[in-house]
Structure 1
């Protein structure tokens, strides 16, 4: 699989190639399955099949390697998620709800271990750490995609354009919430629960506000 190919699964890493690519593959696989702090450089080098010298040739530190691995995963995961969402239909509403169907397929896979970016951010204390920066950029990128679909939805539903931004933020909470619940519970149907909540949000967005009666001017005598 080339780097330009959109994978069918967000966990699929590139086939072993250069020493750098093998190190990135090994780092991503090991930290996704076991965490950053539990994964040492020796384990990464051993799994990559490279020499330890190769690690120091390409990366100045373990954190630099992990940040680079996460950046590559961000590109692959977003390509997978966007493509899966777009296959769900032509209408924005169908695509928004279809995001949860895409997630459910991921949740049901044998090597699902939650969101790699939330997992990584949870292990890093400093907000300025390169790993946290990559995680933050990933969520901003995901929010940007969701917001574009929400903008399309408000146009499609002919409602106030100002509804798109808050709806996008709420949608991101639903997506990340579904990922977290699926990880902890082991239930892929967490995606369907989030989808039901999302449907309620969309229905509420298009429901006309109830007309308020003006207060009565009548007075009692």
Structure 2
């Protein structure tokens, strides 16, 4: 008989929390649903997390690490700086077309919080800053005149494409954003 360790229990709780909040949002993810879906006791949840807010923040931080690693690894497969910039949107389109795509978890959960100082909003801000830093690095590698400005414009295109893909169901939003990148690079 395989015994589940404490770390495995914690990972199960985080995995289930992330999936539930990505699918249905924070408000719809009650502790009863989480406990039932994870197959753990409420006591187990509170052994690792002080409250639901701490659990949500931990799940989002974990998603940030995993998503950023996946995204940058995929984008970096392109062989040249220019191709990597265009690959930002090719990778996004592949994500849009994947089963279970529900937009950006950080935009979605931020929309559920009103306070800019809320820990969920702070995690979302951290995620977007990491994404901006990554895109800025790509712009520096490309050798553009103002990499910070282009990176900020690309972040808007990235988040705009994600939002349009989710809200409108238009996965070609990534193609349109890529077309805008062509204009920005030639401006």
For each residue in 1:112-153, what CA deviation from the matched residue of structure 2 results, as whole angstroms up to 9, or x when unmatched?
000000101110111111111110000000000000011111
For each residue in 1:57-100, what CA deviation from the matched residue of structure 2 results, as whole angstroms up to 9, or x when unmatched?
111111110100000000000010001101122x2111011110
Separation (CA, whole Å) in 1 of partners of 2:82 and 2:35: 46
- Note if 1:108 corresponds to 2:97: yes
Matches within 5 A, 1:15-34: 18-34=8-24
Deviation at 1:26, TM superposition (A): 0.8
TM-score of the aligned structures, taking structure 2 as reference length: 0.94
Q: 1:178 aligns with which of 143, 161, 173?
A: 161
Paired residues, number? 181
* CA RMSD, Structure 1 to Structure 2 (Å): 1.0
Separation (CA, whole Å) in 1 of partners of 2:105 and 2:98: 15
Separation (CA, whole Å) in 2 of partners of 1:170 and 1:131: 24
Separation (CA, whole Å) in 2 of partners of 1:93 and 1:20: 41
Q: 1:189 aligns with which of 169, 172, 180?
A: 172
Separation (CA, whole Å) in 2 of partners of 1:130 and 1:60: 14
TM-score of the aligned structures, taking structure 1 as reference length: 0.80
Deviation at 1:179, TM superposition (A): 0.1
| Secondary structure in 2 matching 1:123 | coil
Moved over 3 A (4+): none
Q: 1:52 aligns with which of 33, 42, 47?
A: 42
Deviation at 1:23, TM superposition (A): 0.8
Deviation at 1:181, TM superposition (A): 0.2
Deviation at 1:186, TM superposition (A): 1.3
- Note if 1:42 corresponds to 2:35: no
